[in-house]
Structure 1
Amino acid sequence: MTVEAVIFDLDNTLINRKAAFQAYSERFIDQFVELSEQTDRAALLDYMREADQDGYRHKRELHEQFLQELTMKYAETTVDELLQFWFAEFFKSTVLMQGAVELLMALRSQGIKLGLITNGSVHTQNAKLDQAQLRDFFDVIVVSDEVQIKKPDQRIFELALERLGAAAARTWYVGDHPVNDIKGARDAGLSAIWLSGFMEWDDTLEEPSAKIGSLLEILDIVNR
């Protein structure tokens, strides 16, 4: 097919959210957590990563858990202070996925339209985009909280296609989440590329149109 557009997920697709949360957790511990000589820092980081649930945990609930279960340096610390730290600092830990900029530049040089669909808050997702200096690559950016539709609802994919002026049958979608990204995109009629390495594939789902382990593999798929 002639490719009109490629639409991307953001977290764990163009940016490495897993690595970003690790870096944020290190800063959070240094800022708020009282450590003893017996503290296993690696185990503490694993605990925080598991509690975060790859970003699918509500942030107030997550930080309430941290406040209740971790020993804070200051007894008067509140969950609102922790949340303020999150919104002020997390985006600063943004880590680009290897090959992301090279891929986007190559696709644009071929005249392919580029879109982005991401679940999350307007503030946080836009802050990550600006920190990573990715915004100018995209013709269309759709953030779930802004449009009040979340992946895997096919309407958010249809909205992005409409704004791009691209046909679903000539558009690829790239993401890491088997349901939110791959199933959602396929339900909307797009061809879907699954980026492996972050989430386990759900064997009850129809296979993706293509499976990759690194972003630059997309160029071969688009140029076939």
Structure 2
Amino acid sequence: MFRSVVFDIGETILDDTREFAAWADWIGVPRHTFSALLGIVVAQGRNNAETFQYFRPGFDMETERGRREASGVGEQISQDDLYPDVRPALAELRTRGLWVGLAGNQTVRAASLLRQLDLPVHEIATSGEWQVAKPDRLFFERVTAWAPGHAQEIAYVGDHRDYDIVAARAAGLQPVLIRRGPWGHLWADDPVTTANAFGVISSLTELPDLLRPAPVS
């Protein structure tokens, strides 16, 4: 049934705790305050980037990201930022004959940092490299052109109801929601998720038994 499985990155592969803490420090807001307001924004179904506007009206993410990099406190990704189930789950999926990729709304730098981790995946791509971001349908058309198989043979695993599950389903892919991070926990039992997801999991180690590889013709 499946030939490929593609993973979102933030709060699916990576624990974003350190990056959110770095942003709180950068804008001079206590970390617990930033996290609490982020939770409110998430619960309202809004984009997490809106959190910054409460603290700094007119906040421009790309400008501030560049300033962080120039100041030497830019984006970092290490083995410690990976959820513990990531490597064993990705390796098992490959062992079972599935093509494995990572593709999410991240920067060009994030793609480079992820490649340095030598994860058991075939390819890694980010919206920064593709110049198109979720939930744009063009993002998922890139996923379909990139990963082996027809759209219905590609699973897309993520934590966000609208950006990952609904958008992937609309493009013909088979979305799986992981109950992880604020978005995954908020929307795991949401009726929209239930109507659109191929499955809901609590750990990536559940995926190998959920996804059956399609015979290669």
Under a length normalisation based on structure 2, what TM-score does the superposition of the two structures give? 0.73
Counterpart residue number, 1:65: 56
Task: Return the offset for 1:103.
Answer: 0.7
SS at match of 2:177: strand
Equivalent position amino acid for 2:19 in 1: F
Which range moved further: 82-91 or 202-211? 82-91
Task: Return the offset for 1:23.
Answer: 5.7
Matched, 1:97 2:56: no
Q: Alpha-carbon deviations, 1:135-162, whole Å to 9, x = none? A: xx33333311222211112222221221
Equivalent position amino acid for 1:157 in 2: F
Over 3 Å counting, the alpha-carbon distance change for 1:101 and 1:183 in structure 2 is: same
Counterpart residue number, 2:19: 21
Matched, 1:49 2:47: no
CA distance in 1, matches of 2:87, 2:18: 17
Equivalent position amino acid for 1:187 in 2: A
Over 3 Å counting, the alpha-carbon distance change for 1:162 and 1:22 in structure 2 is: closer
Which runs of 5 or more structure 2 residues have no equivalent in the other structure? Answer: none
Q: Alpha-carbon deviations, 1:26-72, whole Å to 9, x = none? A: 9x48xx96xxxxxxxxx92212334666894289x67x839x9xxxx
Counterpart residue number, 2:207: 218
SS at match of 2:204: coil
- Percent identity (aligned): 25
Choose which of 154, 157, 160 in structure 2 pairs with 1:177. Answer: 160
Larger Rg: 1
Which runs of 5 or more structure 1 residues have no equivalent in the other structure? Answer: 34-42, 69-77
Counterpart residue number, 2:107: 121
Task: Return the offset for 1:83.
Answer: 5.2
CA contact (8 A) 2:78 2:117 kept: no
Q: Count the aligned residue pairs.
A: 196
SS at match of 1:12: coil
